[in-house]
Structure 1
Amino acid sequence: MLLRFLTRTGVFVGSVAAASVVVFGFMAVLPGDPARIALGVNATPAAVAQLRREFGTDRPMLAQYADWARGLLVGDFGESYVTRAAIGPQVLDRLGVTLWLVGAAMVVAVLVAVPIGTVMAVRHRRPSGLALSALSQFGIAVPAFLTGVLAVALFAVHLGWLPAGGYTPPAQDPVMFLRQLVLPAGALGLAQAAILARYVRTAVLDVLREDYLRTARAKGLTLTRALVRHGLRNAAIPISTVLGLQLATLLVGAIVVERVFVIPGLGSLLLDGVANRDLLLVQGVVMVLVVAVLVVNYLVDLLYAVLDPRLRRAT
């Protein structure tokens, strides 16, 4: 178990280091000079050169990367090329908003997908199971932003039950915070629930064919009790892999959903940085998203050993 932990930790650290090189490299080769963009087309060469020195973009790429990487280790992302404000506090504030959205969306996805996927597996040859399977296929085809627009039109505009968008911090008004979170979390979570339900169906079908489940049924347990006591734990191993991948998808999908519902999260900050050609801000946000995905995958790898005793014995 210790060896597995050390190995996965080493892989995680190496992946973060490699990702930082790739992110910095992509931002560095993008066309456009941040100093010239900040000063405008009528700026004099002397003014552009002076601003490049202030930004540090006149130095060799290796030196720029070293300074940026050292800053990341202590949470210093530098200053925005456009607003000259520190990027770190902006990213930290927006990250909290995005995590609320992604966490709520994942809860919606799991609560919807696990029971529906289980029913799809248990009744896979019955009309109800086939109908749910067809419904999940339809859900996969509908993008989250379209679900969000339709939800706003129905529940906010037509019925007036929920606000159409915005964000209120939970400490300021918990009730309004929850009301504003329902539609975006539902739109984002239902899109992932349709995908997750397919994987739950496959995992439960595999469990239903196992000898230990047949033995549990032969001892008098109902199918539901046999699945709860013996089946779902084993089905959770492949499902946890999908959940890790879906968290990464949710982080990316949140970028568009935040725009639809006017939520000031990382996605909105990233799109604003792209629109303003604020490359250092974009670079910082992208790096945070990449690290978040790597952290999720790292935790999923460690979760395997908790869910599957065979992995603990093997290490």
Structure 2
Amino acid sequence: MTTLNVRDTTGRTGPAAAPADPARTVPGGRAVARTAAALGRALLIAVPVLLVSTFITFMLGGLTDQDPASVVLGDSATPADVARMREVFGLDRPLPERYALWLWDALHGDLGSSWFTKIPVAQSIAERLPVSLSVAAGALLIAVVLGGVFGILAAVRQGGRLDRAVTVVTSVLATVPGFVAAIALITVFSLLVPVLPSGGWASPSDGLLTWASFLVLPSVSLSLDAAADVARQLRTGMADTLHENYVVGAQVRGLPAWRIVLVHALRNGAGPAVAVLGMHVPRLIGGAVIVETVFALPGIGELTKTAALGGDVPVVQGALLVTIGVVLISSALVNVLLVKLRPAARREV
């Protein structure tokens, strides 16, 4: 085998250089490659999860003992009328065929219509989803801020009174159910000190302050256990990180304490906290059902509950499909964030 020699500008010859790796030569190439790989892995997980979860959801709706055609038409309907209505609903087809058609239409934005109100399911969800997302986003923000602040303080003051106080408080908050926190907050801030509304909803178009006033109590009641878990995980992760050699080296070089904690230690110790926060996203969305009931919020949780009690299967299936999609998207974003935070990932590719 012969080796191809090339002549450089100085006249010397040597082996030809290997082609440059685009991921190493293009600015930000490694970061783009890591992000793409993380998204690819998340997609490989999300697709089968979506198929299995939606199939189970559709099966539960299809195996119900309640005949929707009879419910819609009432007791005075004849068997012929019921048969015609079942054909309109597509209930005369095999269950796998109905699932395939429903999933195909859902992927094209058609979630069907309510069996009782005839309102398109997509329209009902589009009207209710912003309420639930606002409450969940507010709860997520509060959990990150509170959990982050107290987790960092406990890590910096590990072993001290503040550390022990944070441990006790977070242990208590993690055991408080959302509806109990909601009732307590209403009692304090709507009855004893009436500064916030006890329920209802206002859109941002009514004014940001008005909208925020209706958002505070539901978001806080939904965020307490998530904030407690974030604080504990962040404290544990940063307590170990603060004793690493690179942190000690940064202290020797005279870097400011705030930079050592918030830049070096936080980035490398936040992985467990981000992971547990990702696990709380489904809980925030699922817990919205109870919180929306307590605060009388017109969200997707309340829509799903009302539809389930009334036997409106298309609405339940559509709402669950959208909820599953939100959970999978948030999980993919958390996976990408974990890749960016993990120190070993920055040396890959």
Instruction: Tell me if TM exceeds 0.5.
Output: yes
- 1:267-306 equivalences under 5 Å are 267-306=301-340
1:210 & 1:30 partners in 2: Cα distance? 57
- Give the CA deviation at 1:184: 0.8
Q: Indicate whether 1:217 and 2:254 are aligned.
A: no
Q: Indicate whether 1:173 and 2:186 are aligned.
A: no
2:263 & 2:332 partners in 1: Cα distance? 28
1:290 & 1:192 partners in 2: Cα distance? 20
- Name stretches of at least 5 consecutive residues in structure 1 with no aligned partner: none
CA contact (8 A) 1:244 1:296 kept: yes
CA contact (8 A) 1:82 1:276 kept: no
CA contact (8 A) 2:178 2:222 kept: yes
| Matching residue within 85, 106, 110 for 2:140 | 106
- Give the CA deviation at 1:249: 1.2
2:58 aligned partner, one-letter code: F
CA deviations on 1:14-59 (whole Å, 9 max, x unpaired) are 3322322222122222322111222334432222112111111111
**Corresponding position of 1:143:** 177
- 1:179-218 equivalences under 5 Å are 179-218=213-252
2:64 & 2:244 partners in 1: Cα distance? 54
Which region of structure 1 is more displaced relative to structure 2, 1-10 or 14-23? 1-10
1:290 & 1:71 partners in 2: Cα distance? 17
CA contact (8 A) 1:94 1:265 kept: yes
Aligned residue pair count: 315
CA deviations on 1:251-304 (whole Å, 9 max, x unpaired) are 111111111111111111011111111111111111111111111111222223
Q: Indicate whether 1:26 and 2:64 are aligned.
A: no
Task: Tell me: CA distance 1:313–1:25, structure 2 relative to 1, closer, same or farther (3 Å).
Answer: farther
- Give the CA deviation at 1:229: 2.5
| Matching residue within 153, 163, 166 for 2:187 | 153
2:326 & 2:302 partners in 1: Cα distance? 17
2:263 & 2:348 partners in 1: Cα distance? 25
CA contact (8 A) 2:174 2:224 kept: no
2:37 & 2:184 partners in 1: Cα distance? 50
Q: Indicate whether 1:93 and 2:127 are aligned.
A: yes
Q: Indicate whether 1:262 and 2:322 are aligned.
A: no
CA contact (8 A) 1:163 1:179 kept: yes
Q: Indicate whether 1:314 and 2:348 are aligned.
A: yes
**Corresponding position of 2:287:** 253
Task: Tell me: CA distance 1:254–1:227, structure 2 relative to 1, closer, same or farther (3 Å).
Answer: same
**Corresponding position of 1:11:** 45
- Give the CA deviation at 1:134: 0.6
| Matching residue within 114, 136, 155 for 1:121 | 155
CA contact (8 A) 2:157 2:163 kept: yes
CA deviations on 1:46-105 (whole Å, 9 max, x unpaired) are 221121111111111122112211111111110111211110111112111111111111
**Corresponding position of 2:93:** 59
Task: Tell me: CA distance 1:282–1:136, structure 2 relative to 1, closer, same or farther (3 Å).
Answer: same
Which region of structure 1 is more displaced relative to structure 2, 48-57 or 25-34? 25-34
Q: RMSD of aligned C-alpha atoms?
A: 1.8
**Corresponding position of 1:163:** 197
SS at match of 1:43: coil
**Corresponding position of 1:243:** 277
Q: Percent identity?
A: 33
CA contact (8 A) 1:304 1:311 kept: no
SS at match of 2:93: coil
SS at match of 2:147: helix
2:98 aligned partner, one-letter code: Q
- Name stretches of at least 5 consecutive residues in structure 2 with no aligned partner: 1-32
2:226 & 2:63 partners in 1: Cα distance? 34
Which region of structure 1 is more displaced relative to structure 2, 209-218 or 245-254? 209-218
SS at match of 1:141: coil
2:286 aligned partner, one-letter code: V
2:193 & 2:42 partners in 1: Cα distance? 50
1:313 & 1:135 partners in 2: Cα distance? 38
2:275 aligned partner, one-letter code: T
**Corresponding position of 2:118:** 84
2:174 & 2:343 partners in 1: Cα distance? 33
SS at match of 1:164: coil
